């Protein structure tokens, strides 16, 4: 099952294998992110500032609460039964859907929240100003475990945690991805590399990196940029494994399924060059071949 949010204010549930729309519900404004709770429930948020819980089985819908500004990103901490919302109001909301008063804690952030990712009970939050705060969801009253600046020089677009929970990858508007680690000693081995750029003659055009997704089996990761390209990388061995065909528009979002055999690819113009004529907004399902995601250690 594939959950899709859109600027048309809808949340859609698709059967990715049968290519069927199973269900749909609407917000009052554009929806910027969503996540599954289980097989039947989803959470979503966007420009209407409200955090919505929707049950596809019963069609019941509930607003858990709201932020003072749009909700940009959502994560479900399954181990703790919590939903986490990141907002442009410079806060992260931690919600327990089982409680009468769902809001557990509102966490102040150093800037607008642009992206978040979970590694077990660790929450990595990327904000404006290139700030990266790492929180322990079990010890929220103690403040962030670590406060960092992204090693990339320009605005953060996306953060995704490693499958083994030892670190995370950061993508930015400058066409670079950085690989960083939680442990201070391991963090000395952090590195960054250039990607999503085209060189013609003496001129290089750089495209923002909008999205990252880790393969749940091998721990390799895919990156998608405004160039319409999806590349798959072996971060441990510092090499690119493959590059998929170019899509009609930039890649706005990526997600692997539970066993890493399918990759959902959202192709949509993200206004990096201002307004232009209407372009296609499509979600593609790419069947992954083992050699596209399996690491190839250096000789």
- Coil vs helix vs strand at 291: helix
pLDDT band at 3 (very low <50, low <70, confident <90, very high): very high
On the question of pLDDT at 146 being above 90, the answer is yes
**What is the pLDDT, as a whole number, of residue 175?**
96
Q: What is the mean pLDDT of the chain?
A: 94
Answer yes or no: pTM beyond 0.85. yes
**What is the pLDDT, as a whole number, of residue 143?**
93
**What is the pLDDT, as a whole number, of residue 276?**
76
- SS3 per residue for 14-83: EECCCCEEEEEEECCCCEEEEEECCCCEEEEEECCCEEEEEECCCCCEEEEEECCCCEEEEEEECCCCEE
| Contact in structure between 270 and 210 (CB atoms under 8 Å) | yes
Average pLDDT of the segment spanning 53-70: 95
CA 49 vs CA 95, 223, 273: distances in Å: 15, 28, 26
Per residue in 170-224, pLDDT (tens digit) is 999 999 999 999 998 998 899 999 999 998 888 999 999 999 999 999 999 999 9
Task: Kindly list the domain boundaries of the chain, sorted by start residue.
Answer: 1-107, 150-299
**∠ at Cα 190 (228, 182), nearest 5°?**
105
Closest CA to 265 of 285, 250, 279, 289: 285
Q: What is the dihedral of CA 211, 216, 218, 219, to 10 degrees?
A: 50
Domain covering 150-299 in this structure, CATH number? 2.130.10.10
CA 173 vs CA 111, 233, 238, 277: distances in Å: 17, 18, 21, 23
Residues, the chain:
299
On the question of pLDDT at 275 being above 80, the answer is no
The 3-state DSSP composition of the chain as helix, strand, coil percent (nearest 5) reads: 5, 55, 40
Beta carbons within 10 angstroms of residue 183's beta carbon: 10
**Fold match, 1-107 / 150-299:** yes
| Contact in structure between 179 and 191 (CB atoms under 8 Å) | yes
**What is the pLDDT, as a whole number, of residue 225?**
96
CATH architecture group of domain 1-107:
7 Propeller (2.130)
């Amino acid at each position: 099952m594939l959950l899709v949010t859109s600027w048309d204010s809808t949340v859609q549930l698709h059967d990715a294998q049968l290519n069927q729309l199973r269900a749909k519900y609407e917000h009052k404004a554009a929806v910027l992110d969503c996540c599954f709770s289980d097989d039947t429930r989803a959470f979503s948020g966007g420009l209407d500032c409200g955090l919505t819980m929707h049950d596809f089985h019963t069609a019941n819908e509930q607003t858990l609460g709201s932020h003072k500004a749009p909700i940009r990103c959502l994560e479900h901490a399954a181990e703790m039964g919590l939903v986490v919302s990141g907002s442009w109001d410079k806060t992260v909301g931690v919600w327990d859907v089982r409680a009468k008063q769902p809001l557990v804690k509102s966490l102040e952030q150093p800037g607008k929240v642009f992206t978040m990712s979970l590694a077990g009970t660790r929450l990595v939050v990327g904000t404006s100003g290139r700030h990266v705060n790492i929180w322990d969801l079990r010890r929220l009253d103690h403040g962030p475990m670590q406060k960092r600046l992204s090693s990339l020089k320009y605005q953060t677009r996306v953060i995704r945690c490693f499958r083994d929970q030892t670190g995370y990858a950061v993508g930015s508007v400058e066409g670079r991805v950085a690989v960083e680690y939680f442990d201070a000693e391991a963090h000395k081995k952090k590195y960054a590399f250039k990607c999503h750029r085209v060189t013609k003659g003496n001129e290089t055009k750089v495209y923002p990196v909008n999205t990252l997704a880790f393969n749940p089996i091998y721990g390799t990761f895919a990156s998608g940029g405004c160039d319409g390209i999806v590349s798959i990388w072996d971060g441990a061995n510092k090499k690119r494994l493959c590059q998929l065909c170019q899509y009609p528009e930039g890649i706005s979002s990526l997600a692997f399924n539970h066993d890493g055999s399918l990759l959902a690819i959202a192709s949509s113009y993200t206004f990096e060059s201002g307004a232009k004529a209407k372009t296609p907004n499509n979600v593609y399902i790419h069947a992954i071949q083992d050699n596209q995601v399996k690491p190839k250690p250096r000789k």
